[in-house]
Amino acid sequence: MYLKRIEIAGFKSFADRTVIEFENGVTAVVGPNGSGKSNITEAIRWVLGEQSAKSLRGGKMPDIIFAGSEGRKALNIAEVTVVLDNSDHFLPLDFTEISVTRRYRRSGESDFYINKQACRLKDIHDLFMDSGLGKESFSIISQGKVEAIFNSKPEDRRGIFEEAAGVLKYKQRKKKAEQK
């Protein structure tokens, strides 16, 4: 499984619809400071289910929408789609290609799609939980994350290992079952 394509529109500095194609292998994104490199990884984390505006370097969710620039007014919708090659059926869906879309309006409304079928945020979380691609995953290591892991308290570090080992899913299910 690998990331084939990302389509970004109205997300942070990407006012115009921008399509980035990836090959299977290593891709390096280079550009001057402030040109939007980190915004690409944030768009990926967001579409995969990130819910914390703070971890997307914003104060609140509307901050992810293009806020306007010199000569260009702010937009009201942000939309990101990632397309994953799933020909190895790594993700538990019977498709060789999986697209995931998230749309957010300034009014606060959200839409989520898997392969263009409307779904819930939970369905996206469930699809990626355990795959190593989910929102808390370590497939995306942001600036400062390595230090954060080294400096974390033992119990927090345990959580990191549990997630990496795929135990978290079962813990969450157990907790849910206990609440019922």
39 near ligand ATP, rule: CB under 6 A: yes
38 binds Mg ion (CB under 5 A): yes
Does 28 sit near ligand ATP (CB under 6 A)?
A: no
- Residue 41 contacts Mg ion per CB under 5 A: no
Smallest distance from ligand ATP to CB 123, Å:
27
Cβ neighbors of 112 (< 8 A, separation 6 or more) are 100, 101, 102, 103, 118, 119, 120, 121, 123, 124
- The widest CA-to-CA distance across the chain, in whole angstroms, is 55
Looking at 31, 59, 71, 108, which residue binds ligand ATP (CB under 6 A)?
Answer: 31
Could you tell me which stretch among 58-66, 79-87, 112-120, 164-172 binds ligand ATP (CB under 6 A)? 58-66
Per CB under 6 A, the segment of 34-42, 80-88, 120-128, 170-178 that binds ligand ATP is 34-42
Sole window of 33-41, 96-104, 106-114, 121-129 interacting with ligand ATP (rule: CB under 6 A): 33-41
Angle of CA points 33, 14, 123, to nearest 5°: 115
- For position 46 contacting ligand ATP by CB under 6 A, the verdict is no
Number of helices (H), then strands (E), belonging to the chain: the values are: 5, 6
Cα of 67 vs its chain's centroid, Å? 20
Question: What tokens were used for 148?
Answer: 């954060």
